Amino acid sequence: MFAALLIFFAGAPAVRADGVQVPVLWDSKERLAKPDLSDMPRLRFLTTTDFPPFNYLDAEGGLSGLHVDLARAICAELGLADKCQIQALPWSELETALARGDGEAVIAGLAVSAQNRAKFAFSRPYLRFPARFVATRSAMLGEPMAERLRGKRVGVVAGSAHEQLLRDSFGSVQAVAYDRQELLLADLKEGKVDAAFGDGMRLGFWLGSADSADCCRFAGGPYIAPEYLGGGLSIAVMPENEKLAGAVDAALQQISANGTFAELYLRYFPVSFF
């Protein structure tokens, strides 16, 4: 039974860039038509300033982040670099601004929920957030993780989607729930748990920080589980703007194929969570 679950949850396709795994969510054999957008007077992306490293203000007060660079790359791929605008708004104003026509697309992590699908059209996902195991370097753990960790203590944040995923899909482990991730990671460093399980992006930032003291590494995975962890990040447009949604998909596919997305991903996530 676990083998089937592993196929279901185990990571998205990936390619090596400079020895590091980066996500590839596009089928290279698929051919996506790129609509002609030359008649567009401008392409305005709406985002926020409070979602680092995706969108934030840098030390000089400039709008920066993966989303900002990705929006510019999309504009360039569509031949609209000279018509490209990126504006930051408070999160609470994004949906209203898009519906009012103050922008053509939102690139800010707007959830691809059933409620939002009733109001907006979305591009295909350009990034997903896998669950990952982290263990000490001396543990030398690898797949199949359910067997390697059978009966072992695995820490996870209490009440999280990751706790439910761990209990449902890795029933052979002894799940240990923590109120806060920092307590879990402190115990991992001290050997009080055999592994930690959680959001790969957050764990990747910890692995690359001084707090980890280079104690640990990713083990097994990554595990993609949309039913537990959501569908990832997509770009939102108004439903009547299907032409733009199709163009964004075509641009994203090319940005992935030519290595631009890998370059941007590694710029903001030097410890890859894939």
Tally of domains within the chain: 2
Tell me whether residue 10 is in a domain. no
Nearest-CA neighbor of 63 among 125, 110, 108, 100?
108
Q: Within this chain, do residues 49 and 100 fall inside the same structural domain, yes or no? A: yes
Inter-CA distances, 266 with 16, 130, 262, 272, Å: 11, 16, 6, 7
3 pLDDT exceeds 60?
A: no
Closest CA to 119 of 235, 232, 238, 245: 238
pLDDT of amino acid 35 = 87
Same domain, 44 and 180: no
Q: pLDDT higher for 120 or 9?
A: 120
pLDDT tens profile 31-49: 888 888 988 999 999 999 9
**pLDDT tens digits, one per residue of 122-178:** 999 999 999 999 999 999 898 999 999 999 999 999 999 999 999 999 999 999 999
Residue 205 lies in a domain: yes
Domain assignment of residue 177, given as a range = 131-229
What are φ and ψ of residue 69, in 5° steps?
-65, -35
How many Å apart are CA 265 and CA 75, to the nearest integer?
A: 18
105 and 143 fall within a common domain: no
97 and 57 within one domain:
yes
How confident is the model over 180-193, as a mean pLDDT? 97
Do 35 and 170 lie in one domain? The reply is no
User: Do residue 104 and residue 240 come from a single domain?
Assistant: yes
Residue 199 maps to which CATH number? 3.40.190.10
